[in-house]
Amino acid sequence: MLAKPAAQGGFSLVEVLIAGLVLAVGALGMMSLQITSINNVASAQNRTQAVFLMNDMANRMRHNKAAAADGRYITDAGSGGARVTDCELAGCSGEALAQHDIWEWHGVIIGADMGFGPLVPGLPEGNGAIVENADGSFMITVSWQEQARNKAQGRFERREVSQRLYL
C-alpha cells in the first residue's frame, strides 16, 4: 500500500512574494505620508512666522502712534528703512524710531544678520509692505514663497498674510 502524502507545511514562494509586495506598497504609502507631513509642517511654520512678524509691526506702530499717523511706517515690499543706533541705547524721535523699526522688521523677514544675536531664519523670498488705506487704517502684509502643493517640479507659489490696523 502506498503511503498518503504528508500535508504541506510552510508557505509557498508565491505567497511570500505577494506578502512582500503588499508590505512594499504599504511602506511607500507611509513614506509619501511622511513627506507630505514634513511639507505641511514647513508651510505652517512659515505662516506662523509671517503672522508673528505682522503682529510685531502692528505693535510697533501702536507704540509709535504719532509717527504712524504721519505715514512714517509706510513702506513697499523690499524697502528696508535705516538703522538708527540711538534707538537701541537711548531715546530717539518718532520718525527715527519708525525708520529703525522698518529696518529691523525687514531684516528679520529676510533673515539678515542684524548684529544683535543669533541669526533668525527668515521667510523664503520674504517681503513686507505697509500701505495706508483711504479710511486712515494701515494694511500690513508679509509675503513669502513656498513649493506648490500640486508637487510640480520646481514650481513655487507666493503666499501672504495681511492685517488691517486701526490706530
Residue 3 has pLDDT above 80, yes or no: no
Instruction: Identify the band that residue 2 occupies on the pLDDT scale cut at 50, 70 and 90.
Output: low
Residue 6 has pLDDT above 80, yes or no: no
Provide the residue type at 97 as one letter: L
Strand 138-147's sheet: what is its strand order?
A: 127-132, 138-147, 156-165
Predicted confidence (pLDDT) per residue in 44-101, tens digit = 999 999 999 999 999 999 999 999 999 999 988 766 666 666 576 667 888 888 988 8
* Grid coordinates of 99: 525708520
Q: Look up residue 110 and give its DSSP letter.
A: H
Q: What backbone phi and psi angles, to 5 degrees, belong to 143? A: -130, 160
Instruction: Identify the band that residue 8 occupies on the pLDDT scale cut at 50, 70 and 90.
Output: low
For the chain, the domains span 13-165
* Grid coordinates of 8: 504541506
pTM of the model: 0.77
Predicted confidence (pLDDT) per residue in 133-158, tens digit = 999 999 999 999 987 766 666 678 88
* DSSP states of 111-154: T---SSSSPPP--TT-EEEEEE-TTS-EEEEEEEEEE-TT--TT
Contact between residue 31 and residue 144 where contact means Cβ atoms under 8 Å apart: no
Nearest CA to 101 among 123, 68, 127?
68
